[in-house]
């Protein structure tokens, strides 16, 4: 069965994000799932913590250090991530948000687009 346009873009974004993470951090997440929802692209990454980060996350200070380090890294390469999303979706990325849970070992990335991509892809499909 052929993949619809939305599923294809979600899959392409997940693959590109994993590749980028491996280039930047030397490893990617264990699992990545992308959702296109209205004018947003939401990426959920599972299994993002390294062995050392998991160890650090056992204390309050360690959790703060992991979150701070990951947020600093994210800020340093946010323009590249936004470019990846823009290239795949054909939309302008107006901004992005990110957070990491040291408890779950997950990261969430949200990209705000200049238009309702979900609606556009649905109309293209019909």
Domain residue ranges in the chain:
5-125
Q: How far apart are CA 112 and CA 124, in angstroms?
A: 21
- The class (CATH top level) of 5-125 is alpha beta
CB 35 within 8 A of CB 14: no
Cβ neighbours of 53 (radius 10 Å): 19
Rounded to two decimals, the pTM is 0.91
pLDDT per residue of the chain (126 residues) written in tens, 0 to 9: 346 889 999 999 999 999 998 888 788 889 999 999 999 999 999 999 999 999 999 999 999 999 999 999 899 999 999 999 999 999 999 999 999 999 999 999 999 999 999 999 988 876
Q: Which of 59, 58, 44 is nearest to 106 (CA)?
A: 44
4 vs 8, 92, 101, CA distance in Å?
Answer: 6, 22, 31
SS3 49: coil
């Amino acid at each position: 069965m052929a993949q619809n346009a939305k599923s294809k873009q979600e899959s392409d974004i997940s693959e590109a994000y994993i590749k980028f993470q491996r280039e930047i951090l030397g490893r990617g997440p264990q699992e990545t799932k992308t959702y296109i929802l209205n004018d947003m692209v939401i990426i959920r990454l599972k299994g993002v913590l390294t062995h050392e980060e998991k160890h650090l996350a056992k204390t309050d200070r360690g959790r703060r250090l992991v979150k701070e380090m990951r947020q600093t890294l994210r800020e340093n390469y946010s323009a590249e991530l936004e470019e990846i999303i823009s290239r795949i979706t054909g939309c302008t990325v107006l901004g992005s948000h990110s957070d990491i849970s040291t408890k779950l070992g997950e990261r969430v990335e949200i990209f705000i687009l200049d238009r309702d991509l979900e609606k556009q892809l649905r109309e293209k499909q019909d």
